[in-house]
């Protein structure tokens, strides 16, 4: 899995691999939408998830609990400054953003003070 997602910059890969790993370690599922179609639905297989990513200029990862409840989504854009591959993220209306905030902060490079 070292070279996955295939078409991502090495820094993007590192961030994406950490993101996928943390989500799956929390016993959650990932759906991959490439901006045009859903290419993988509710998977907990890291290889399949990473292989399905970076074939287009963007991906949206939708995160679900094992019970099918939507946890949040992460919008990825490839080819800009690699450390900013995570362009945006959200959580369902009416829920706390703490989980998504902590998830994104844990996988993105820190900012210099």
pTM, full prediction: 0.92
pLDDT of residue 113: 39
Phi, psi of 76 (to 5 degrees): -110, 135
Of residues 92 and 23, more confidently modeled = 23
Residue 98 has what DSSP assignment? H
> Nearest 5°: phi and psi at 19?
-60, -50
Write out pLDDT tens, residues 40-58: 999 999 999 999 999 999 9
CB environment 45-71: b (16+ within 10 A), e (fewer): ebeebbbbbbeeebbbbbbbeeeeeeb
Q: Which two tokens stand for residue 105?
A: 């902060």
Task: Decide if pLDDT at 39 tops 50.
Answer: yes
Residue (of 52, 47, 44, 50) closest to 28 by Cα position: 44
What pLDDT digit, counting tens, does each position of 60-111 carry?
999 999 999 999 999 999 999 999 999 999 998 888 889 999 999 999 977 5
User: 40 and 47 in contact (C-beta within 8 Å)?
Assistant: no
More confident residue, 23 or 1: 23
Domain edges within the chain: 10-107
> pLDDT confidence of 1, banded at 50, 70, 90?
low
- Residue 112 binned pLDDT confidence (cut-offs 50, 70, 90): very low
Does residue 90 sit in helix, strand or coil? Answer: strand
């Amino acid at each position: 899995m070292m070279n996955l997602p295939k078409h991502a910059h090495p820094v993007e890969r590192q961030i994406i691999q950490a993101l996928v790993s943390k989500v799956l370690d929390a016993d959650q599922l990932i759906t991959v939408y490439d901006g045009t179609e859903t290419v993988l639905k509710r998977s907990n297989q890291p290889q399949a998830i990473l292989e399905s990513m970076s074939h287009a200029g963007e991906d949206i990862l939708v995160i679900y609990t094992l019970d099918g409840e939507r946890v949040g989504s992460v919008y990825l854009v490839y080819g800009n400054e690699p450390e900013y591959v995570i362009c945006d993220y959200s959580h369902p209306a009416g829920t706390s953003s703490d989980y998504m905030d902590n998830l994104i902060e844990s996988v993105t490079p820190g900012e210099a003070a």
